[in-house]
Amino acid sequence: MKIGVLGGDGYCGWATALYLSAKGHEVAILDNFVRRQWDHELGVQTLTPIRPLAERLRVWNELTGRTAELFVGDVTDYEFLSSFVSQFQPESIVHFAEQRSAPYSMIDRKHAVSTQVNNVVGTLNLLFALREIQPDCHLVKLGTMGEYGTPNIDIEEGYISIEHNGRKDVLPFPKQPGSFYHLSKVHDSHNIMFACKIWGLRATDLNQGVVYGTVTDEVAQDEALINRFDYDEVFGTVLNRFCVQAAIGHPLTVYGRGGQTRGFLDIRDTVRCVELACLHPAAPGECRVFNQFTEQFSVLQIAQLVQASGRKLGLTVDIDHLSDPRVESEDHYYNAKHSKLIDLGLQPHYLSDSLLDSLLNVAIRYRDRIDTSMFMPQVNWRNASNVRRPQITAGEKALFAGRAT
């Protein structure tokens, strides 16, 4: 198939683009490199040394004999985006090109607005481009389980059957987003459902859980292809942060009691889920929703898993409880359905099988790059404006660029 990967320089996008290319699909990557700019803005860097995208693609093309095309531009620029669709004529578009950090969206007004403009406007532009140029193209859109929040009922996959005052209907599952980022994803979902309904577009909304892992079969072929390992408090995941802390003997920083429960999945399952969605497209006019995760854990359970695995490697791993900077329930019911991708053929990897090789060992390997100042939360959900670390200087930016971070 001809598949466009929007946001193909990012964590999920890069792994997905290589996986699809290795499977024989004709892949085009679209990116504007803003993810790298956000690192510079925040004064952080991924644990793993990331090469420039042009170099990554050159190495991949030389290793495999395949050609993954690159289109540099912004999804909020309709002329550029429509030109890409017209030139490449994709059969599927995988849309990762969004600001994906809840803490980033909660820093202040500027970051909340930029998150929603990038995400909502970018997706709207894409919907209009597909309608005008490639209406039969299947949109595979990365959503988030965070759209649902933590309701006191089972979470269905996108829709719920309701009986009210003697009448029945199937409606979109109620949304209870917990940040301006998650709100932007809800707006995306509504816009996509509407576009499918009125224009006959076809779309799959993948409500993804927390993704972990750096190594896929494709990335493992060369050091130049290595993927991101974000552990800072804005873009990092709790699992990555715990593994990095364990690698250097720093106590694991659990927010509150640690009862916050979420869905998790291996990056190798992310790329497979995307391919399964592409190979089994939605029907014209259909907007279907898959809950994309394989296991559920609380934050405290994650900390205990890291603690146990770290001790097997001879690491000293303690657990500290911090005041929770977020506005969220620390103890709650959480039971989300996730059967549709399994039905399509997903064979999951599990955290217990992946923690040592894919996470802790990577953290240990690159522990000389760990910056402990990135561990503690600085973004408080309750503040209208948060005090951030100063932006790095032009000289520091040049240094980061020289180190290809």
Q: How confident is the model at residue 384 (pLDDT cuts 50, 70, 90)?
A: low
Q: Which of 104, 148, 181, 366 is catalytic?
A: 181
pLDDT in tens, 36-84: 999 999 999 999 999 999 999 999 999 999 989 999 999 999 999 999 9
Q: How confident is the model at residue 358 (pLDDT cuts 50, 70, 90)?
A: confident
Mean pLDDT throughout 146-153?
98
Predicted local distance difference test score (pLDDT) of residue 355: 84
Residue 78 annotated to the active site: no
Name residue 140's beta-bridge partners. 94, 204
pLDDT in tens, 178-225: 999 999 999 999 999 999 999 999 999 999 999 999 999 999 999 999
381, 327 Cβ separation under 8 angstroms: yes
Predicted local distance difference test score (pLDDT) of residue 352: 86
Residue 110's H or E segment, with its range, is helix 109-116
Q: Mean pLDDT across the chain, nearest whole number?
A: 94
Q: Which of 144, 214, 216, 253 is catalytic?
A: 144
Predicted local distance difference test score (pLDDT) of residue 404: 36
Q: Is the pLDDT of residue 393 over 50?
A: no
List the structure tokens of 399: 């240094």
Q: How far apart are CA 59 and CA 222, in angstroms?
A: 8
pTM of the full structure: 0.94
Residue 333 annotated to the active site: no
In this prediction, what percent of the chain has a pLDDT beyond 70? 95
Residue 183's H or E segment, with its range, is helix 180-199
CA atoms within 13 A of residue 271's CA, in its CB half-sphere = 24
The C-alpha R_g of the chain, in whole angstroms, comes to 20
Can you say how many angstroms the Cα of residue 361 is from the centroid of all Cα atoms in its chain? 22
Q: Residue 328: exposed, middle, or buried by beta-carbon count in 10 A (0-12, 13-18, 19+)? A: middle
Q: Which of 46, 115, 185, 204 is catalytic?
A: 185
Mean pLDDT throughout 348-377?
93
Q: What are the backbone angles phi and psi of residue 30, rounded to the nearest 5°?
A: -120, 130
Q: How confident is the model at residue 150 (pLDDT cuts 50, 70, 90)?
A: very high
Mean pLDDT throughout 363-383?
94
Q: Is the pLDDT of residue 402 over 70?
A: no
Residue 144 annotated to the active site: yes
9, 175, 180, 185, 337 from 101: Cα distances, Å = 16, 18, 10, 11, 24
CATH numbers and ranges of domains, the chain:
2-377 (3.40.50.720)
